[in-house]
Amino acid sequence: MSLSSFALLCFASKSQPRIAGTYCVAIGPLGVAQSTIREALSKALVPYYPLAGRLTSNGSNIDCTGDGVWFVEATANCSLKSVGYFEDVTSIPFDELLPPHPHETLGVDPLVLMQVTEFEGDGFVMGLTFCHTICDGLGAAQFLNAISEFARGINPLTITPVWQRDFIPQPQLASPSNLQLPPNFVFPDYNLVQTNIDIPLHHITDLKNKFIEENKVVHCSSFEIVAAILWKNRTRSIGLGPESRTMKLVFFANCRPLVEPPLPKGFYGNCFFPVTITTSSDILTQASLDEVVKMIQEAKARLPEEFAHWVNVNELNGLNTEDPFAPPLGYDTLFVSEWGRLGFNQVDYGNGPPVHVVPMQGSAIIPVAIVGMLPRPIKGVRLMTWCVQKDHLEPFLESIATIAQ
């Protein structure tokens, strides 16, 4: 089975493209989680059978071998309450909660690896690593929700999975051979440090309402507000010096509605497109919050045209067109990913949705911020960031502190 152009881009643009990780904390009866999830996972792999296969050596196809996925059962000698339900993300022992990859001597290379760790008396942690060349975040969340529906006895599934990657156009730039890194390429290492910023929902709502009222518009999203504040305040905090520099904000947009004909509801592959906003550090630091929000909204409004241009091979003019999937990697480029709306927070194995969902640790070489949700029952946004060096952390937190009040 062939992969889409988006999957090929994932494969070609990273040295180890296969692994994306997440884990969620779910409260449920002890002794139920592992057996329930294992059985439901087996059932879900019937309609989602490509995920039980293996990538071919060139990464452009899947052999539907039916070899299955990797499932690990583990136990912890403490309660979730005793570790605060891992609300402090910096304290999470990822190596213990995410499934270890099978040793290469076993000859097993699954596309999906899952670990369920039971804690004493009050619940479990589900850890997942996923082959990101197969599914984007929406697709992975759809698969987990399918598992949770089987766990709750729902059959048939609410959403029927659709594999057909031929729905996705194949632009010329999608060939992995066109996207290999140059010889002896060395990724920069900025020694980025992690910090989390919690923003109450009422504060975000106030800022959205203020923007809508003052600019006489009908809509402003939480993501636009949070991304604007983050980008502006980070830029002010990273010691740019007297010379103006080119700053970029990059986030990935779901393009399922933009494909012609539209993708079926159950499509669970990769279908995203990078939205890149470029401006000078002078303009960004001097701009009001409203002006930065407008930059983001204008970039989103250009998305349909830019996406259509990209998929139209006749407009690409060979390989001279700048690749939107290869923005410059540098300290002046900030990547922001929105996790709160992917669907991970709705996964319910029968004991309610997870307390919270956390991605794997970010990179020390690429400035990244992930927009997630606060642990239940608190409502709001948790910004998980790896976007500043240690020397810039204090001014960054001071600059952005007003949004966390």
Taking the CA atoms of residue 260, residue 9, residue 142 and residue 100 in that order, the dihedral angle to the nearest 10 degrees is 170
Which residues face 74 on adjacent strands?
117
Look up residue 25 and give its two tokens.
């904390």
Q: Which secondary structure element, helix H or strand E, spans residue 2, and what is its range? A: none
104 vs 193: CA distance, rounded Å: 32
Buried b (16+ CB within 10 A) or exposed e, 115-149: bbbbbeeebbbbbbbbbbbbbbbbbbbbbbbbbbb
- Of the residues 132, 136, 356, 392, which is catalytic? 132
Q: Count CB atoms within 10 A of the CB of residue 381.
A: 23
Is 382 in contact with 200 (CB distance < 8 Å)? no
Taking the CA atoms of residue 208, residue 210, residue 212 and residue 213 in that order, the dihedral angle to the nearest 10 degrees is 160
Is 321 in contact with 179 (CB distance < 8 Å)? no
Residue 54: helix, strand or coil by DSSP? strand
- Of the residues 67, 122, 323, 348, which is catalytic? 348
* Cis amide prior to 261 (ω within 30 degrees): yes
Is 41 in contact with 99 (CB distance < 8 Å)? no
Clarify whether 348 is annotated catalytic.
Answer: yes
Look up residue 11 and give its two tokens.
């494969």
Is 85 in contact with 32 (CB distance < 8 Å)? no
Instruction: List the catalytic residues.
Output: 132, 348
